[in-house]
Amino acid sequence: MNWSLDDLKRLATDCPCGQPHQAIPLEHLEVRPGALAKAAAWIRARYGRVVLVMDEHTRAAAGDALAQALTDHGVLWTACLIEPNGQGDVVADERSIVQALIATGPDVEALVAVGSGTLHDIARFASSKMRIPFVSVPTAPSVDGFTSAGAPLIVRGIKTTYQTQAPIALFADTDVLERAPKELVWAGFGDVIGKFTSLADWAFGAIAAGEPYCAHLAGLTREALETAVAQADGLARARTDAIRSLMEALILSGLVMLLFGQSHPASGGEHHLSHDWEMEFLRSGRRQILHGLKVAAACGVIADVYHAHVESAVAEAVRAGQAPWASLAGREEEVRAILGSIPSGDHVRALMRRIGAPAEPSELGIERSLVTASLKRAHKLRNRYTMLRLLNETNAL
């Protein structure tokens, strides 16, 4: 990778944009073969007793090996196997949280999340409540949220993101990642592909509504995006170097969000659409779809909609001349450049197909009527000025 954790950490106080950013609490980062053994040695130097938060799949993928390495190093550990819900999914809900809290006795010094984003969210929330750190051991390059401080939890059927804590260290063993189910790799690729429209919405929000912005951090997220796109053919053949690059891109995207302190760099209209679909699936009790798969499908939809309607909506908004649209007057050229940075929806879908992944909402079981409805309400889910919000406010959809 052509960035280092230390370089990123320095941006908290020394970014070319001149603004202060948030400090990155991550103390150690390893993405390489044999990182599990490194994790055990790192934990041994700091903690005498830990709880491994995992499920039956991630225990087989990495948990057993990590537990053995911890035993070899003389670290006491307990396994907390999070149980799936009635539909067979492991979810970050109140039952899973209580399971992790019960497994964590008063002498436990840290939690170790071994697994997916969901297991990380459970460990993130439980460790934060118990005022102990947590160590991240991802088992698949599936999402960019491993290093996040926010934990999206489903409580009484409603999904809400709680501010908790980022991991103190992250160990991603490429020997483990390369054996991850292909759907999880597709999802990780999809989460990064979504940055095409996240970055465009972030730049648009800055000029249309004065949303906070940093061109340097936007450049780093674009680097993560381009790194992942360049790996498409390698990912299609499940090559180890491609999987590793994808994981590094996901971590970079996550660390940029930590620095910025908000999700702007990595979440725009496409994420809002994906959240809307997720909530509808929760309401109707349907089995959840991997986050990154929804994000990529939503990115294709959003790209089509933005290319079709934003330019005329901006012209309309400028003619109407009310706040916040007045700020767009004279900036039509900048908006055109932002739109020019978004590939066509067909291009987004072709990228997903190139790695063998589903690309359309219909391929994920998301019906046309839900897509149409979500385009008209998803902008209300977050208080952010996106192009999706402009299109709704100007009745362009």
Binding site residues, Zn ion, CB under 5 A: 15, 17, 191, 214, 216
Distance between CA atoms of residues 184 and 266, nearest Å: 19
Distance between CA atoms of residues 48 and 71, nearest Å: 11
Return the exposure string of 196-219: e unless at least 16 CB atoms fall within 10 Å of the residue's CB, then b. Answer: bbbbbbbbbbbbbbebebbeebbe
The letter for the amino acid at 239 is: R
The letter for the amino acid at 262 is: Q
Distance of closest approach, residue 86 Cβ to Zn ion, in angstroms: 26
Instruction: Look at residue 84 and give its three-state secondary structure.
Output: coil
Distance of closest approach, residue 295 Cβ to Zn ion, in angstroms: 5
Q: Which is nearer to Zn ion, 191 or 278 (CB)?
A: 191
Distance of closest approach, residue 19 Cβ to Zn ion, in angstroms: 5
Distance of closest approach, residue 215 Cβ to Zn ion, in angstroms: 7
Distance of closest approach, residue 144 Cβ to Zn ion, in angstroms: 6
Distance of closest approach, residue 174 Cβ to Zn ion, in angstroms: 22
Distance between CA atoms of residues 116 and 58, nearest Å: 8
* DSSP summary character for residue 51: E
Torsion, Cα 178 110 98 29, to 10 degrees, reads: -30
Query: What is the chain's alpha carbon radius of gyration, rounded to the nearest angstrom?
Result: 21
Instruction: Look at residue 344 and give its three-state secondary structure.
Output: coil
Contact by Cβ (8 Å): 127, 110? yes
Q: Which is nearer to Zn ion, 15 or 370 (CB)?
A: 15
Q: Which is nearer to Zn ion, 133 or 145 (CB)?
A: 145
For residue 374, the tally of other CB atoms under 10 A from its CB is: 24
Distance of closest approach, residue 43 Cβ to Zn ion, in angstroms: 28
For residue 359, CA distances in Å to 232, 246, 305, 319, 352 come to 14, 18, 16, 37, 6
Q: Which is nearer to Zn ion, 216 or 353 (CB)?
A: 216
Q: Which is nearer to Zn ion, 167 or 292 (CB)?
A: 292
Contact by Cβ (8 Å): 210, 323? no
For residue 46, the tally of other CB atoms under 10 A from its CB is: 15
**Residue 373 C-beta-side C-alpha neighbours within 13 Å:** 10
Q: Which is nearer to Zn ion, 191 or 201 (CB)?
A: 191
Q: Which is nearer to Zn ion, 5 or 37 (CB)?
A: 5
Distance of closest approach, residue 24 Cβ to Zn ion, in angstroms: 13
Q: Which is nearer to Zn ion, 133 or 152 (CB)?
A: 152
